[in-house]
Amino acid sequence: MDKNINSKKETLVYLILWCITFLAPLLSLYISTSASEGQESFHWGEVFHIWIIYVPFLVVFLVHNFLLAPLLIYRRKKALYVAATLCTVAAFVVVQCINRPKMNHADRKEGPRQELPLGERPPLPPDFKGELPHPHHKPPTIIQEHDIVRTIVLVLLLGMNLGVKIYYKSDSEHEQLKQLERENLRQQLEYLKYQINPHFFMNTLNNIHALVDIDPQKAQHSIVVLSKMMRYLLYESNQAMVPLAKELDFVNNYIALMRMRYTEKVHINVNLPNPATDIPQNIEVPPMLFITFIENAFKHGVSYQQDSDINIQLTATDNLHFICENSCFSKPVAEQGGVGLANVRKRLDLIYHDSYQLQIDNTQTRYKVTLITPHSTFHIPHSTLHTPHSTLHTPHSTLHTPHST
HEC secondary structure over 379-395: CCCCCCCCCCCCCCCCC
CA distances from 227 to 163, 232, 250 (A): 61, 9, 11
Buried b (16+ CB within 10 A) or exposed e, 342-369: ebbbbbbbbbbeeebbbbbebeeeebbb
What is the pairing mode between strands 308-316 and 242-243? Answer: unpaired
- As separate numbers, helices (DSSP H) first and strands (DSSP E) second, the chain gives 10, 8
Q: pLDDT (tens digit, 0 to 9) for every residue of the chain, 405 residues total?
A: 566 787 888 889 999 999 999 998 888 888 887 777 666 677 788 888 888 889 999 999 999 999 999 998 888 899 999 999 999 999 998 888 887 665 444 444 445 555 555 455 556 566 655 555 555 555 556 667 777 888 899 999 999 999 998 888 888 788 877 776 776 666 665 655 555 556 667 777 887 887 787 778 888 888 888 888 888 877 776 677 888 888 899 899 889 888 877 778 889 999 999 887 887 777 888 888 888 888 888 888 888 778 899 999 999 888 899 999 999 876 544 443 345 677 778 878 878 888 899 999 988 889 999 999 987 544 444 433 333 333 333 333 333 333 333
> What residues contact 15, with CB distance under 8 A and at least 6 apart?
none
Residue 145 host element (H or E): helix 145-214
Residues 6+ apart with CB under 8 A from 162: 64, 69, 72, 73
86-92: long-range pairs with CB below 8 Å, 24+: 88/60, 88/63, 88/64, 89/60, 89/151, 89/154, 89/155, 89/158, 92/56, 92/60, 92/151, 92/154
Neighbours of 394 (CB within 10 A): 17
